[in-house]
Amino acid sequence: MNDMDRKLLNLAIDRARRSRAEGNHPFGALLADARGNALLDAGNTVPVEGDCTGHAETNLARLASKAYDREFLRTCTLYTSAEPCAMCSGAIYWSGIGRVVYALSEAALKALTGDDPGNPTLDLPCREVFARGQRIVEVEGPVDVPGAEDVHEGFWRPG
């Protein structure tokens, strides 16, 4: 982690805020090249589009795989406001993205959302999903970033 990583992670959290303001779940993701240039971003689209696979990281992996070849994506980093779930980890893996940096852990997210049916969190760290693959995906996180929890405040109905 360096200052560039923190700056880009903050941009992913800003994207999560926009996602929430757009009527979606408060998650955001950003793709950057090896020099730290922001290339793409995506928010969650589950409520607005009615697609249960519309998580920010899956949306971003879909955009990235259409825009760039796998060789280039291996040099890129996906920054995300929360640890990728098992589905998103699979999408990241298949897209070829080489590195993931996240703020909130899946466990911390589960503590925030409780048993809210809008986020039936899987207790499966992304590192475990990536470890089952045939290529390495570097992972850094959780990273303590101001605002990462705040974007969720008052959104979920923990049980």
Residues with catalytic annotation? 57
- Specify the length of the chain in residues: 159
CA distances 15 to 12, 25, 84, 140, Å, are 5, 11, 15, 19
CA 81 to CA 104: how far, in whole Å? 6
40 bridge partner residues: 31
Instruction: Indicate the SS3 state at residue 28.
Output: strand
Instruction: Indicate the SS3 state at residue 13.
Output: helix
